[in-house]
Amino acid sequence: MAVYTQVSAEDLGEFLTRFDVGELVSFKGIAEGVENSNYLVETTQSRFILTLYEKRVAADDLPFFMALLDHLAERGQPVPPAIPDRTGREIHELCGRPACLIKFLSGVSVSHPTPAQARAAGQAMARMHRALADFEPARENTMGVDHWRPLFERCGKSLNDIVPGLYDDLGFALDDTVSAWSADGLDSCVIHADLFPDNVLMLGDRVTGVIDFYFACTDLRIYDLAVALTAWSFDATGHRFDKAVADALTTGYEGQFPLNGHERSQLLTCAVGSCIRFTLSRAWDWLNTPADAMVTRKDPLAFWRRAKVYDPALARLTTCA
């Protein structure tokens, strides 16, 4: 959420001469994305997002992400592909960082989604999953179910510094969820894996863009839906569940790409799993970010509280309040 690498007007003007995009008119560093530096760039022809990839996105993964965006864009999905330069190249280097010039999409990210907006997001996700049926590249979900226990152990007893008892309680939920988890008979494809409202651009109730694919990976399509349910259907603290939003998201999805009975029965396990995944990643960041650093630490318990709503059995745990 910051600009880590400063690009000068002179360097950017020179960089743009590789492309057939006109001349630089304006650029502003924007506070967006995970740990990349982003600029909104205007030329005499159009507008673009310039992304410089900082350490969190592995340069080796960029060809996968760019192929994914190209595949989706070619099939009419509202995603922002990279702009090729005059030689067809999409991945460049600028100021010592891998860099892509990316299509600009209109729309805003809503903070308090309505059911109609959630339905549109569910539909957009289902259409993407359909469009990816013939996408061959794969990428491991490095934040997937097999990675939760190692991350949990790396956090260790320090979890109790967030709230006393969290290590035991989260360990219990983790055991429970991992043993209930099975991919048998469930569709996999490349999924977004981080479809929070932040990553969906909308105009009114219409999806105009799906962005920030840097967690995209091969996993269960119901896990993608579960992440979105967890992200869209609660207030920011994770206390209050909005059933109308959750229902709209699911029916929106199923209207475009129905789930089978087995998938429906496994959706709850995936939903609790998504709570564990975000609790763990936020807990790790929380424990490894100095309290006085000028970045906002996101509350890990906001996702732990969601788990209780999904699974009343977890409500008995004292830390899940």
Pick between residue 32 and residue 311 the one whose CB is nearest to a copy of itself.
Answer: 32
**Candidate residues 82, 110, 118, 301; the one interacting with a copy of itself per rule CB under 8 A:** 110
Smaller CB separation from a copy of itself, 112 or 239: 112
Give the contacts of 156 (CB within 8 A, at least 6 positions apart).
167
Question: Is 294 an interacting residue with respect to a copy of itself (CB under 8 A)?
Answer: yes
Q: How far is CA 306 from CA 18, 45, 113, in A?
A: 48, 46, 17
Task: Answer positive or negative: Cα dihedral of 254, 256, 260, 265.
Answer: negative
Nearer to a copy of itself, 108 or 183 (CB): 108
Instruction: Give the nearer residue to a copy of itself in terms of CB position, either 117 or 274.
Output: 117
Site for a copy of itself in 6-35 (CB under 8 A): 8-10, 12-13, 24-32
Phi, psi of 144 (to 5 degrees): -85, 180
Count of residues near a copy of itself by CB under 8 A: 33
Residue ranges in the chain assigned as alpha helix (H): 9-16, 62-74, 115-131, 148-155, 159-162, 166-180, 221-232, 243-256, 261-287, 301-310
Our finding on whether 288 is near a copy of itself (CB under 8 A) is: no
Q: Give the H or E element holding residue 51.
A: strand 47-52
Of the listed pieces 101-109, 143-151, 185-193, 280-288, which binds a copy of itself according to CB under 8 A?
A: 101-109
Quick check: 120 binds a copy of itself (CB under 8 A)?
Answer: no
Q: Which residue, 60 or 292, has its beta carbon nearer to a copy of itself?
A: 292
Among 76, 261, 293, 312, binds a copy of itself (CB under 8 A): 293
Separation of alpha carbons 31 and 29, rounded Å: 7
Q: Hey, how many other C-beta atoms are within 10 angstroms of the C-beta on 48? A: 23
Length of the chain: 321
In the complex with a copy of itself, the residue whose CB is nearer, 17 or 142, is 17
CB-side neighbour CA atoms (13 Å) of 85: 15
- Chain residues binding a copy of itself by CB under 8 A are 1-3, 8-10, 12-13, 24-32, 40, 42, 106-112, 201, 203, 290, 292-295
